Amino acid sequence: MNIAIGSDHAGFVLKQLIIEYLQGKGYTVKDFGCFSAASVDYPDYAHPVAKALDQNEFDFGILICGSGNGVCMSANKHAGIRAALAWKPELAELARQHNNANILCLPARFIDDSLAIECVEKFLNTGFEGGRHQRRVDKI
């Protein structure tokens, strides 16, 4: 599975941890930045991840910023993207099951490392249920 990942400065440390975790599990991960904790603008990293995913270069994306909101809003500007903010594994799971989300957005300032990893695992290992949910996703 190929994963695109990006963050702003607030999510930099958590992004590094997630990359290491995913690579250890055998995932292929491309880091779209940022590459330090120096202040940056989150759309500069969210848009390239969303564009690459929208062009079918990756299976899923993960975006991280302080609240998770900025990267989520930026990514959702792309027509084929369904980015979902999650701070609990159950939310990550439902985003996949019911909304067929393709980008997981995490709030680095409001989630600890182990909970973030749990969210990533639920997101990547949960399938879309389809059925009545497909009709709703089609309306997005």
User: Distance between CA atoms of 70 and 81, rounded to whole angstroms?
Assistant: 15
pLDDT, one tens digit for every residue, the chain (140 residues): 999 999 999 999 999 999 999 999 999 999 999 999 999 999 999 999 999 999 999 999 999 999 999 999 999 999 999 999 999 999 999 999 999 999 999 999 999 999 999 999 999 999 998 899 999 999 98
Helix-helix angle 89-99:132-139, to 10 degrees: 90
Q: What is the pLDDT of residue 140?
A: 87
β-partners of residue 60 are 3
Active-site residue (options: 34, 65, 105, 119):
65
Catalytic annotation present for 9: no
Domain assignments of the chain as residue spans, ordered by start: 2-139
DSSP structure class, residue 96:
H
Catalytic annotation present for 47: no
Q: Which CATH class is domain 2-139?
A: alpha beta
SS3 state of residue 56? coil
Q: What is the pLDDT of residue 129?
A: 86
Active-site residue (options: 47, 72, 78, 98):
98
CA dihedral 14, 15, 17, 22 (to 10 degrees): 140
Of 124, 120, 103, 131, which Cα lies nearest the Cα of 45? 103
